Amino acid sequence: MTTIARPRVLKDTYKMLIDGELVESASGETFEAISPATLEHLSNIPDGTEEDVERAVRSAQEAAPAWRRMGMQERCKIYLELASRLREKVEDLAAVEALDMGSTISAMRRDIAGGIHTIEYYTGIAWELKGDTMPNSNGGMHFTLRQPHGVSASITAYNHPFSFAIHRTIGALLAGNTLVLKPPEQDSITSLMLAEVVAEVFPKGVWNVVTGFGPTVGAPLVRHPAVRRIIFTGSAATGKLIFKSAADAGLKSVTLELGGKNPIIIFPDADIDKAVAATVAGMNFTQTAGQSCMSNSRAFVHESIHDEFVQKVADRMSKVRVGLPLDEDAQMGSVVSEAQYNKVMSYIEIGKQEGATLVLGGERPSDPELKGYYIMPTLFDNVNMGMRIANEEIFGPVLSVLPWSDEERLLADVNAVDYGLTAGIWTRDVHKALRFAHEVEAGTVWINGRSGTQGMPHGGFKDSGLGRLGCMEDLLANTQQKSVNITIE
């Protein structure tokens, strides 16, 4: 085992960013950041309050006029400076992220680098944020302006905290909004490390960061009347709550990136070995111990290839090396918290009681060094859509195989859940692939593998969300159009 050292950058206590200053919470209280993998205390995080939200929103309001008037080139320059300073800190950020969320250092290097890479893409498309001109009418000239909403809030989930802190704020900020970011309470440290760099390069008040819990920081942000735009990443239940309580305070622009119960559909003519590898990779065991909105937790496998497929998937899953966050050889870490551990374990119990066949995992690792909230990669077979484990998002390392035989029934089962985030399709038959791509209720479809590129919209159908991120539509959603009509005759 090659283990890197505990990062020396870790501070005893971190501070929030409000009005350009690194500050404690108004109450002076903190809560503990712990590593769910090693159970060690990492640091103390400011326990933000409604008063902190109030100060942050006021500061964002005050910073708004100058920020919206600033030229796009200046805003992009600030972002490129941020990117270059962050690039020097990738190793520190990755090590801290791995410890704080329980994932592995190798996975977190990719996550941190991905977050920084987002800046290159967005500063590239920023200039395309422009209005239209219309053909002139009788005596008029007509054009539209794209203007920011004002103060926006981004509330993020725990599974990619650093990359969300960039990916789910940059559209709003580049479009000229000012912002308050509320990081996840389970792993806030890298968002606060980012805040330290933001404090150096952004004008004060443009980007504030308030840490704390949903009810005490998230909820007051959502219902604050001056916050006109909300970008939320989290569970469908919280997303719905936010949608409702936002409307009580005023009509706001809301983007919701919520959960998934994503299918991967294997047709009998698929390249089995590649489909097996994709099914295991698509569970994101090695990125986030399966805690991903995009994990393909329902594998629909044609009965003619079912036995071979399940055996090969089990074989591959059993080779995933579970280990400590700073172990360079480890491929999968722990889940994020005791609460998430209990939730996943309870679903494993539910699966057994519902009559699904537990093929692999379902328990803690045997290695006594892995003391934290570890759950081995878990495989259920003979799952059907009558079971809770086939319908509800588990958000952990649990994959279910659902055998199928009839194509129409398959399509109905695939679309039977409330979610609709992603879908994988494996077949060599182009007609089948395109028919399913057309009919499946999902915001993203992958045919024969998860290829992807910057700029492809990310977002959900049905209860998986509203709006799209990672693309031009994100920048546009962070603006409102104004039609300007001039009489020239």
Nearer to Mg ion, 100 or 111 (CB): 100
Output the CA torsion 15→57→480→168 (10° steps): 20
Q: Which does 187 bind (CB under 5 to 8 A by kind): Mg ion, ligand NAI, none?
A: Mg ion
Q: What is residue 322's DSSP assignment?
A: B
Size of the site for ligand NAI (CB under 6 A): 30
Which residue in the set 14, 79, 122, 158 belongs to the binding site for ligand NAI (CB under 6 A)? 158
Q: How far apart are CA 209 and CA 19, in angstroms?
A: 10
Q: Answer whether 169's CB lies under 8 Å from 181's CB.
A: yes
Task: Give the CA angle between residues 178, 182, 187 to the nearest 5°.
Answer: 140
Q: Do the beta carbons of residue 182 and residue 155 sit within 8 Å?
A: yes
Tell me if residue 74 is catalytic. no
Residues in contact with ligand NAI, shown as a per-residue x/- string from 117 to 156 under the rule CB under 6 A:
--------------------------------------xx
Q: If you search the block for the tokens 């000239």, which residue do you land on?
A: 141
187 part of the interface to Mg ion, by CB under 5 A? yes
Point out which span in 117-125, 138-146, 252-260, 317-325 binds ligand NAI (CB under 6 A). 252-260
Angle, vertex CA 388, rays to CA 383 and CA 391, nearest 5: 85
CB 379 within 8 A of CB 279: no
Q: Which partner in ligand NAI, Mg ion, none is near 100 (CB below 5 to 8 A by kind)?
A: Mg ion
**What would the DSSP string read from start to end of 125-192?**
HGGG----EE---TTEEEEEEEEE-SEEEEE--TTSHHHHHHHTTHHHHHTT-EEEEE--TTS-HHHH
x/- letters, 253..272, toward ligand NAI (CB under 6 A): ----xxxx------------
Which residue in the list 257, 393, 441, 471 is annotated as catalytic? Answer: 257
- Where helices occur in 363-417 by DSSP H, the ranges are 407-414
Is residue 111 a contact residue for ligand NAI (CB under 6 A)? no
Given Mg ion, ligand NAI, none, residue 44, with its beta carbon under 5 to 8 Å by kind, binds none
Please count the residues of this chain forming the interface with Mg ion, following the rule CB under 5 A: 2
Minimum Å gap between C-beta 97 and Mg ion is 10
Q: Pick the catalytic residue: 185, 293, 441, 471?
A: 293
Torsions phi, psi of 404, nearest 5? -140, 160
**Which of 309, 395, 404, 461 is in the footprint of ligand NAI by CB under 6 A?**
395
**Angle in degrees, CA 121, 188, 124, rounded to 5:** 10
Instruction: Give the 3-state secondary structure of residue 244.
Output: helix
**CA distances for 351 relative to 347, 376, 386, 388, angstroms:** 6, 15, 11, 8
CA distances from 485 to 314, 372, 472, 476, 489 (A): 64, 63, 26, 21, 12
CB of 340 to Mg ion, least distance (A): 11
Q: Does the CA dihedral 430-435-437-440 come out positive or negative?
A: negative
Dihedral of the CA atoms 275, 280, 286, 292 (nearest 10)? 100
Judged by CB under 6 A, the chain residues 199 through 218 that form the site for ligand NAI are 213-215, 218
| Residue 185 touches Mg ion, criterion: CB under 5 A | no
**Rounded least distance, CB 18 to ligand NAI, Å:** 17
User: Smallest gap, in angstroms, from Cβ of residue 235 to ligand NAI?
Assistant: 4
Position 182 contacts ligand NAI (CB under 6 A) = yes
Distance, CA of 66 to CA of 215 (rounded, Å): 31
Q: Please name every residue paired with 32 in a beta bridge, in sequence order, or none if there are none.
A: 44
Q: Which is nearer to Mg ion, 187 or 441 (CB)?
A: 187
**Residue 52 touches which member of Mg ion, ligand NAI, none, C-beta under 5-8 Å by kind:** none
Catalytic (active site) residue 471: no
**Alpha-carbon gap, residue 132 to 192, rounded angstroms:** 39
> Is residue 413 close enough to count as binding Mg ion by CB under 5 A?
no
Of 7, 42, 39, 102, which is closest to residue 324 (Cα–Cα)? 102
Is the Cβ of residue 47 or residue 187 nearer to Mg ion in the bound state?
187
- Give whichever of 72 and 350 is closer to ligand NAI, judged by the CB atom: 350
Cα separation, 94 vs 487, whole angstroms: 57
Q: How far is the CB of 312 from Mg ion (least distance, A)?
A: 35
Q: Which of residues 269-298 bind ligand NAI (CB under 6 A)?
A: 293
Contact of residue 23 among ligand NAI, Mg ion, none (CB under 5-8 Å per partner type): none
Alpha helices in 285-368 (DSSP H): 285-288, 306-318, 338-353
Among 234, 263, 290, 470, binds ligand NAI (CB under 6 A): 234
Annotate each residue in 75-114 with x if it binds Mg ion (CB under 5 A) or - if it does not, as one string: -------------------------x--------------
Residue 100 contacts ligand NAI per CB under 6 A: no
Interface pick for ligand NAI out of 38, 43, 123, 233 (rule CB under 6 A) = 233
To 5 degrees, how large is the angle CA 198–CA 203–CA 207?
A: 50
The residues annotated with a catalytic role in the active site are 257, 293
* Residues contributing to the site for Mg ion (CB under 5 A): 100, 187
* Residues contributing to the site for ligand NAI (CB under 6 A): 155-159, 182, 184-185, 213-215, 218-219, 222, 233-235, 238, 241-242, 257-260, 293, 393, 395, 421, 460, 465
